[in-house]
Structure 1
Amino acid sequence: MNPRVFILAIATFVVGTVELIIGGTMNLITEDLNIPLSAAGQLITVFSLSFAISAPILMHATRSMPRKPLYLTALFGFFLSNVLAALSPIYALLLVARILSAACGALLTVLSISIATQLVEPAYRGRALGIIFMGISGSLVLGVPLGMTLGNAFGWRAPFWFIAALSLLAMLILSRQLPQVQISPSVPLRVQLASLKDSKIVSAQLISMFMLTGHLTLYAYFTPYLETTMHLEAGWLSIIYLVFGLAAVTGGGVGGWIADKWGPTKSMLFIISSFALVMASLPFATKSLYIFLIVMILWSALSWAISPAQQNYLIHAAPGTSDIQLGLNTSVLHAGIALGSAIGGIVVERASVLYNPWVGAIFVLFSLGFAIFSITRPVREKSVARLPIES
């Protein structure tokens, strides 16, 4: 495996970390900027929505630009946006910084996927994609505990300074290590979107979208949920988030083992059903910290166990455009994060954070419904040559 693929995965980890980093410092931001909890939650929604929209648009707009200079330029823009976030004196400016950060991060993530597939031989392409997606998923689960640790020690602006510093470090490394990559033949946007006419593929993409919608309905507001239900202090919150992150990363590996043993379809049905059940049972476990930790570990592990099975399923469901589907899936994932954090904010504002686990579980059941619908549809797409991932 080309070691540069691991460097790209580290870069995507840095980019992805900033998305949910707000979750661990939400209470600090609300106090400092004098905004309601739901408004702080929308900082996640805006980031994820901007990411989902920007990814295909920016890749299409920059399709003829050399990859290495474009990558480094986007990384520098990501650095500046995090500096702006760290310096923001008001909520509106922080919101703008999050939008800019998401746009640069979206371009970097999809470029990383595209470049990684060109750095390796075709036989290693799947492994290269797996390494990049490990960076993405790892950042999403470890961003909150990282933000919480730095935020509690040095204030909510510290995580943004930390990410800015890591961005500069990544720029220095990649400016030397990243080779000049040949621009792939441009695939018109209409060709990419044409595959979404197939109901089997559309519903397959919606599996992960509604899975993450349900998950983020609670996870985006997990800190206030723990403070309200269990009255935990900052020290315990940091421990819980660390355990959550480790369980989520482990869950990805377990999910890969399940997918290999049972196949993608059975794995998806089992994981999604279990996830809905565990999430709905979380409120009943809050009376005991030890029982809650057990249930939370299961919830965390299952949250990312779906990824290997779902990505394998997309490859089988769309053999001719599987690279494109995996690229589009990054936008779909962030759309689910945006929707979940938005819905979670509505529940917090109009009812109580106590209801977020049950509302989230309902959306996970939608994911299960789309999985059943997709699995029962026939494969229409012929097994043709795989198209490049770029737009």
Structure 2
Amino acid sequence: MTLPQTKSSSKPTTPSPNVVAWAILSLAIGGFGIGTTEFAMMGLLPNVAEGVGVSVPTAGHVISAYALGVVVGAPLLVAIGAKMPRKTLALGLMALFTVGNLLSVLAQDYTTLLVTRFIAGLPHGAFFGVAAVLAASMVAPTKRGRAISMVMMGLSVANVLGVPLATFVGQQFGWRWLFVLVGGIGIVTMVCMFVFVPAQKAHPDASLRRELGTLKRGQVWLTLLVGVVGFGGFFAVYTYVANTMTDVAGFDAGFLPVIVGLYGLGMVAGNYVGGRMADWSVMGSIYLMMGFIAAVLVIYAATVHIQWMALLMIFVIGASGAMLVPSLQTRLLDVSPGAPTLASSLNHSALNMANALGAFVGGLVITWGWGFTAPALVGAVLAVLGLAIALFSGFLDKGSRTGRAAVDG
């Protein structure tokens, strides 16, 4: 692959496939860094707790602070940057992410670490939202799903390569090196984006009011609700996967890295397939995947005590969840014409809320004494509810089209 030419032209041109490939790779590297810092913290939590002198449960609030930053930052930062060119906004968001992680290196106490993790989480959702819009704008409409999935591939690959590497480095050399590593990835991302991502002017009518106007659209909220509820089942299983695999499937704790790696490989495969499914049919893919996730979680609950089935199903669960994301992201672009950036960014706020919902309801049924397979069954119920919401959204779409056809006729 040869490097793209960056000479400007007075005549606007569609980026060549070579330019698009390098631009999407640059954005995916940012996703790789974000995924690494988000998920590696879970494996290093005991080290962090010891380092700042708190208990492990208390240290877990550091992860919650990051998630809260994601939820707050997505609408806030996109609204603030509404009039900025998208490339400039993406660079600024990655700069904030990098600074937040490097400040975490310097945190000497628990309170400071909470603040720096919150700062690092602020640009998470906004970056993915802007990156999705950038990627979709560089390709034909029939290839938007694939372009978005390639940006999200960085997040999936992080679970296979970035998280194990960062965990190893953190265990061997100290947990602060996780943030040094991620800060370095952030700097590489900014350099690559500056060189390879084509400049895009802001929408001529871009404004804070225009972006916030997206929130008046019922279909935006329905799509976000599909993500919060439907994806909650995915996280209900993932949150308690270690206990399920050791206590129910009977694996040794030392085998957990292999299990988590299988889960990550499933995400990579699912993300790849999901992009192509979104290009086939956005709503059709959402319907299909919500039903598939429900079925997969029921099978997982019924067969997890069989070790080879447990390994197979953990791969399939990772794949099924990742297959859904490109369609949700593309759907948000479709239902927010003229101001897609905020809606696209809110997808990641929704997924973090799904994380909280899944962990909560999963923990609730375990506390009630239903066992470690119960979260999967609760997750299946959530997936069915997500499917019902998606079907209602599609029904409203069909009704709207019928009404317009009647008026035109």
TM-score, structure 2 normalization: 0.76
- Equivalent residue letter for 1:164: G
What does residue 291 of structure 1 align with?
Answer: 309
Q: CA deviation at 1:144?
A: 4.5
Q: What are structure 2's unaligned runs of at least 5 residues?
A: 1-16, 402-409
What does residue 187 of structure 1 align with?
Answer: 206
Alpha-carbon distance between aligned partners in 2 of 1:346 and 1:33, rounded to the nearest angstrom: 29
> Does residue 355 of structure 2 align to residue 303 of structure 1?
no
What does residue 210 of structure 1 align with?
Answer: 229
> Does residue 291 of structure 2 align to residue 273 of structure 1?
yes
Which range moves more in the overlay, 214-223 or 31-40? Answer: 31-40
Alpha-carbon distance between aligned partners in 2 of 1:108 and 1:62, rounded to the nearest angstrom: 11
Relative to 1, partners in 2 of residues 1:190 and 1:360: Cα closer, same or farther, differing over 3 Å?
farther
What does residue 44 of structure 2 align with?
Answer: 25
Which range moves more in the overlay, 205-214 or 170-179? Answer: 170-179
What does residue 326 of structure 1 align with?
Answer: 344
Which range moves more in the overlay, 140-149 or 194-203? Answer: 140-149
Aligned to 2:396, the other structure's residue is in SS state coil
Aligned to 2:314, the other structure's residue is in SS state helix
Relative to 1, partners in 2 of residues 1:285 and 1:19: Cα closer, same or farther, differing over 3 Å?
same
Equivalent residue for 2:387, pick from 365, 368, 383 = 368
Q: CA deviation at 1:17?
A: 2.8
Alpha-carbon distance between aligned partners in 2 of 1:176 and 1:110, rounded to the nearest angstrom: 20
Q: CA deviation at 1:99?
A: 0.6
Alpha-carbon distance between aligned partners in 1 of 2:400 and 2:211, rounded to the nearest angstrom: 13
Q: What does 1:81-100 correspond to in 2, within 5 Å?
A: 81-100=100-119
Alpha-carbon distance between aligned partners in 2 of 1:346 and 1:59, rounded to the nearest angstrom: 35
Which range moves more in the overlay, 159-168 or 68-77? Answer: 68-77
Number of residue-to-residue matches in the alignment: 380
Q: CA deviation at 1:228?
A: 4.1
- Equivalent residue letter for 1:160: F
Aligned to 1:185, the other structure's residue is in SS state coil
Aligned to 1:378, the other structure's residue is in SS state helix
| 8 Å contact from structure 1 (residues 20, 143) kept in 2 | no
What does residue 4 of structure 1 align with?
Answer: 23
Relative to 1, partners in 2 of residues 1:72 and 1:368: Cα closer, same or farther, differing over 3 Å?
closer
Q: CA deviation at 1:54?
A: 1.0
* Per-residue deviation, residues 164-186 of structure 1 (Å, max 9, x unmatched): 22223333444544565433335
Alpha-carbon distance between aligned partners in 2 of 1:74 and 1:121, rounded to the nearest angstrom: 23
| 8 Å contact from structure 1 (residues 209, 333) kept in 2 | yes
What does residue 240 of structure 1 align with?
Answer: 259
Relative to 1, partners in 2 of residues 1:285 and 1:129: Cα closer, same or farther, differing over 3 Å?
closer
Which range moves more in the overlay, 342-351 or 126-135? Answer: 342-351
| 8 Å contact from structure 1 (residues 45, 337) kept in 2 | no
Q: CA deviation at 1:298?
A: 1.7
Aligned to 1:184, the other structure's residue is in SS state coil
Q: CA deviation at 1:245?
A: 0.8
Q: CA deviation at 1:65?
A: 4.9
Alpha-carbon distance between aligned partners in 2 of 1:313 and 1:213, rounded to the nearest angstrom: 19
What does residue 219 of structure 1 align with?
Answer: 238
Relative to 1, partners in 2 of residues 1:138 and 1:337: Cα closer, same or farther, differing over 3 Å?
farther
Equivalent residue for 1:336, pick from 351, 354, 378 = 354
* Per-residue deviation, residues 193-246 of structure 1 (Å, max 9, x unmatched): 444445444222211222322222332343344344456455411111111111
| 8 Å contact from structure 1 (residues 203, 370) kept in 2 | yes
* Per-residue deviation, residues 124-149 of structure 1 (Å, max 9, x unmatched): 88254443233345446766544444
Alpha-carbon distance between aligned partners in 1 of 2:251 and 2:30, rounded to the nearest angstrom: 33
- Equivalent residue letter for 2:309: I
Which range moves more in the overlay, 195-204 or 17-26? Answer: 195-204
Aligned to 2:206, the other structure's residue is in SS state coil
- Equivalent residue letter for 2:271: G
Alpha-carbon distance between aligned partners in 2 of 1:83 and 1:310, rounded to the nearest angstrom: 32
Alpha-carbon distance between aligned partners in 1 of 2:130 and 2:276, rounded to the nearest angstrom: 28
* Per-residue deviation, residues 271-296 of structure 1 (Å, max 9, x unmatched): 21221232244344343321210121
Aligned to 1:376, the other structure's residue is in SS state helix
Alpha-carbon distance between aligned partners in 2 of 1:151 and 1:258, rounded to the nearest angstrom: 37
Which range moves more in the overlay, 287-296 or 61-70? Answer: 61-70
Percent pairwise identity: 27
Aligned to 1:357, the other structure's residue is in SS state helix
| 8 Å contact from structure 2 (residues 214, 342) kept in 1 | no
Structure with larger RCO (C-alpha < 8 A, sep 6+): 1
Q: CA deviation at 1:101?
A: 0.4
Relative to 1, partners in 2 of residues 1:111 and 1:302: Cα closer, same or farther, differing over 3 Å?
closer
* Per-residue deviation, residues 5-46 of structure 1 (Å, max 9, x unmatched): 321222232223322222333455456656566545544433
Cα-Cα RMSD: 3.7
What does residue 133 of structure 1 align with?
Answer: 152
| 8 Å contact from structure 1 (residues 200, 379) kept in 2 | no
Q: What are structure 1's unaligned runs of at least 5 residues?
A: 383-391
